[in-house]
Structure formats: C-alpha cells, structure tokens
Amino acid sequence: MNIPPGLVCPLINVLYRLWCSSLRVVQTGREAPDRLDAEGRLQMFCLFHDELFTLMRVRRGLRVATVVSRSRDGEYLARLLHSLGLKTARGSSSRGGLSALKGMERLMREDRRHGVITVDGPVGPRHIVKQGAVVLAFRVPALLVPVRLFPRRAVVFNSWDRFQLPLPFSRVDIVFGTPYAASLAELDPSEVERERAELQKRLNELRVADVDRPETEPASLQAG
C-alpha cells in the first residue's frame, strides 16, 4: 500500500527526533568545522552511506544541503530533511545526477549552505569514494571534510551498504577529519582521480581511539 508522503512524514519526523535524542553522541574534531563556519567558509562534509542515520548531529546548527534520490523513498527522505531544516537537491548518480550536483552547487553558492554528500551512494560499491564530492568542492569552491560515524551498538541491514541503525540509548562516535582544499588547478581527469583517492585515504584513516569496531547486531529485515 502506498501511503502519501504528507501523511507519513510527520510521524517519521517525530520518531526520528525521539530516536536521535536518545543517543549518546561524542564528537571528535568538531572545533575546526565550527570555526570555519564562523569565518563564512563553505565546507563539503563527506561520509559513507551506511553511517548517515545520525546526520542531524553532524549538522548541529550548521546550514546544510544534501542530495536526495528522485525515487519514491527519496520523496519521504526529502520531506523529512526539509522538516528538520535542511535543503535538498534531487537526483542521484543513476537518476538525474548532473542536475542534482548543479542544484547542490547553486544552494551552496547562493544560499551559503554547507554540503553533505554520501560519497559512495546511491548504490555503491560500499565505502568506495566517487568523484562527485571532489568536483563539487572545486566548483563551489568548498573545503572537503571527511566524517565518520561509529555506532557502538547497531542493527546492520542486509542492503548494499550494510546500513547501520544505532540502537536507542547507545553511543555514537562522530569523528571529523581535518578540513582541506583539494589541490586542483582544473577538472583534469587524472587530477580529479588523485583527489578522489586522497579523500578515500582520509576517510579510511579516521578511527575512534578506544574502539576497534562498533558492536553490531545482524538484522533479519531486508533493507534497500
């Protein structure tokens, strides 16, 4: 049964806010992005698709925009994000990707919003960075900020990204890498690939000091 987004989204909004408010979130490296925001410098927050549930804690007062799929599921997500104060550019790498990136660029430039992008979305491969964030950061321009979110206890879904749903009242560690500018003189394919690999390296190197791996519980629910 197809439920109209206008009916279900208010309920999702309440549930999401309650769920996130129960989490114990510890942020590391947050000072640099906040300082850059105060200076008026735009940033592109880059994270992996399976770790995005706690996105609103990354935001925490920042004016941000993100890309959302044009699918029906994306319509639910876009309405939720709008209700939480984010703006969205609709599209994906497979459906309207170029228009979505142009929309994001416009929102960042004209509305002075930071970007948030899942660098391995929308369909993977999992944890493999694509070039979109690098290209967009160059065009805006904006600093790249690698971000990892590590739930201590989570349900892991049987989806392409192994999506992680933090359990209520559990701890989530959010680790911000050092913001940096891609060293691109132009959008030369070899230079873009070099910077894509650099962003991949920086994301892979982010760790939580006292946690090797988050405790996870397999989900019987098929997602995606």
- Domain coordinates of the chain in residue numbers? 25-218
pTM summary value: 0.86
Q: Tokens 């690698």 label which residue?
A: 146
CATH number of this structure's domain 25-218, picked from the four choices 3.90.740.10, 3.40.50.2030, 3.40.1130.10, 3.40.109.10: 3.40.1130.10
Please work out, in degrees rounded to the nearest 5, the angle formed at the alpha carbon of residue 131 by the alpha carbons of 146 and 141.
65
Distance (Å, whole) CA 75 – CA 78: 5
- Mean pLDDT of residues grouped by 10 in the chain (224 residues)? 66 90 95 97 96 85 84 72 80 60 91 94 92 94 97 96 96 97 91 97 87 44 36
Task: Provide the pLDDT for residue 85.
Answer: 78
Distance (Å, whole) CA 75 – CA 96: 14
Question: Which tokens belong to 80?
Answer: 């939720």
Task: Provide the pLDDT for residue 73.
Answer: 64
Residues with Cβ < 8 Å from 202, sequence gap 6 or more?
Answer: 146, 177, 178, 180
